[in-house]
């Protein structure tokens, strides 16, 4: 599976909002700087995520975005279906003949079956992982515990 830049930026933005899930509004500029996302592109992505019910916005000087639902309720599968328009955009290897008029042989059919299993496995993982899970993974990679920074002296 290949994730588009738009999909990656959408995930980055939702993780930024998920890490700050205390109901506060976060400015686009802050998300852009924290996650290294071009501001103009981020504006388009956040508008799309708003139409998909993933985020809410507030206009004005104190405006910005926040998650529309708890991060535990937003799966990667739901997000990617919305942003990428398909959950697992893999080529269908073996699903069709290589030459016009050629028939699919047993090897091609077997390859196609394996690729369908791969798609199903990817979909299963994406259905299981939430934005909250991604936030927790980010905290672990930073060396932080769920309650904040863990200092060892």
pLDDT in tens for each of the 153 residues of the chain?
678 899 999 999 999 999 986 878 999 999 999 999 999 999 999 999 999 999 999 988 888 999 999 999 999 999 999 998 876 655 554 445 555 655 668 888 898 899 899 989 989 999 999 999 999 999 999 887 655 555 555
pLDDT of 93 reads 46
The CATH code of the domain at 5-91+130-149 is: 1.10.10.10
15, with CB counted inside 10 A (0-12, 13-18, 19+), is: buried
pLDDT of 153 reads 56
pTM for the model stands at 0.79
Domain boundaries defined on the chain: 5-91+130-149
Contacts (Cβ under 8 Å, ≥6 apart) of 57: 46, 50, 63, 64, 65
Distances (CA, A) of 94 to 61, 115, 119, 121: 55, 8, 14, 18
pLDDT of 24 reads 87
Of 131, 147, 22, nearest to 74 (Cα)? 131
Of 36, 27, 30, nearest to 8 (Cα)? 36
The rounded Cα 106 to chain-centroid distance in angstroms is: 36
């Amino acid at each position: 599976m290949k994730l588009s830049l738009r999909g990656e930026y959408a995930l980055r933005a939702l993780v930024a909002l998920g890490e700050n899930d205390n109901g506060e509004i976060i400015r686009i500029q802050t998300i852009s700087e924290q996650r290294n996302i071009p501001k103009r592109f981020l504006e388009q992505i956040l508008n799309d995520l708003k139409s998909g019910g993933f985020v809410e916005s507030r206009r004005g000087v104190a405006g910005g975005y926040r998650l529309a639902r708890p991060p535990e309720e937003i799966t990667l599968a739901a997000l990617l279906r919305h942003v990428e328009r398909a959950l697992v955009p893999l080529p269908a290897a073996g699903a069709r003949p290589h030459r016009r008029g050629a028939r699919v042989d047993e090897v091609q059919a077997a390859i196609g079956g394996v690729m369908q299993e791969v798609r199903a496995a990817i979909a299963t993982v994406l259905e299981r992982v939430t934005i909250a899970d991604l936030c927790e993974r980010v905290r672990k990679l930073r060396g932080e515990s769920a309650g904040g920074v863990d200092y060892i002296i």
